[in-house]
């Protein structure tokens, strides 16, 4: 006998966990004939069909992404709950912050970004989170001659100071300038969201 499994379990495995997400996913599967109304179980071999239908038709978007203005290109999204697989951030707050920051930079026309400060872990992680930017990360604990700093700042579109992290005052002072945005939030996702909002404000004021 062919193996089968509860439809609700399959949907949860595919990231549709809330009642609303399960209902929307079920409706799509029924509409496309992958299952029928009232059926509790689904044959294991239909899993690829179910995945294809859901991937094409039932988008999940979490409240945090919606609030951050992300996922505006996602068609007819169903609100994702905790544990649901949001299509935009995939449940990762860091990814959400990175997407919001990249989008704000794109809108402002910023591509070359220097991040000053942050723990070694943060400085290691950031480039992978922000592949759309030409990113440079700078140790905030090592003071360098102002002339060198100025030359680097001249070549950048934006300088981001991570104020709540490992950043000496003497270092941050050398980076002060019209391209500099300072954040105070702790944690990657929080300072990226703060930076996204500040870049957005600045671009708005500049009439971009």
Binding-site ranges for Zn ion (CB under 5 A): 62, 65, 86, 88-89
**Euclidean distance between CA atoms 77 and 108, whole angstroms:** 27
Give the nearest distance from C-beta 193 to Zn ion in angstroms: 12
Contact residues for 43 (Cβ-Cβ < 8 A; gap 6+): 2, 3, 4
- Closest to Zn ion by CB, 69 vs 132, is 69
Give the nearest distance from C-beta 18 to Zn ion in angstroms: 13
- Closest to Zn ion by CB, 62 vs 153, is 62
- Closest to Zn ion by CB, 96 vs 123, is 96
- CB distance 7 to 27 below 8 Å: no
**Euclidean distance between CA atoms 92 and 97, whole angstroms:** 9
Give the nearest distance from C-beta 62 to Zn ion in angstroms: 3
Tokens of 48: 């690829």
Give the nearest distance from C-beta 61 to Zn ion in angstroms: 6
DSSP states of 29-58: HHHTTSS-TT--EEEGGGHHHHHHHHHHH-
- CB distance 185 to 208 below 8 Å: no
- Closest to Zn ion by CB, 88 vs 159, is 88
**Euclidean distance between CA atoms 15 and 51, whole angstroms:** 10
Which residue carries 């944690």 as its tokens? 187
- Closest to Zn ion by CB, 53 vs 100, is 100
Give the nearest distance from C-beta 86 to Zn ion in angstroms: 3
Give the nearest distance from C-beta 130 to Zn ion in angstroms: 17
Spatial CA neighbour of 70 closest among 48, 92, 53, 40: 92
- Closest to Zn ion by CB, 80 vs 133, is 80
């Amino acid at each position: 006998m062919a193996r089968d499994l509860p439809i609700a379990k399959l949907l949860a495995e595919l990231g549709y966990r809330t009642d609303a997400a399960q209902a929307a996913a079920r409706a799509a599967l029924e509409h496309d004939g992958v299952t029928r109304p009232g059926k509790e179980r689904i044959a294991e071999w239909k899993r690829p069909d179910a995945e294809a239908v859901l991937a094409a038709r039932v988008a999940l978007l979490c409240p945090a992404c919606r609030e951050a203005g992300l996922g505006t290109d996602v068609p007819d999204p169903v609100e994702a709950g905790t544990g649901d697989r949001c299509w935009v951030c995939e449940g990762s707050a860091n990814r959400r912050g990175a997407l919001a920051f990249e989008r704000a930079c794109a809108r402002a026309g910023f591509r070359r970004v220097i991040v000053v400060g942050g723990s070694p872990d943060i400085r290691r992680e950031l480039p992978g989170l922000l592949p759309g930017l030409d990113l440079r990360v700078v140790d905030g604990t090592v003071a360098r001659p102002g002339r060198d700093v100025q030359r680097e700042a001249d070549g950048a579109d934006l300088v981001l100071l991570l104020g709540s992290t490992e950043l000496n005052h003497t270092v941050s002072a050398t980076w002060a300038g019209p391209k500099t945005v300072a954040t105070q939030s702790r944690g990657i996702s929080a300072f990226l969201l703060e930076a996204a909002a500040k870049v957005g404000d600045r671009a708005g004021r500049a009439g971009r």
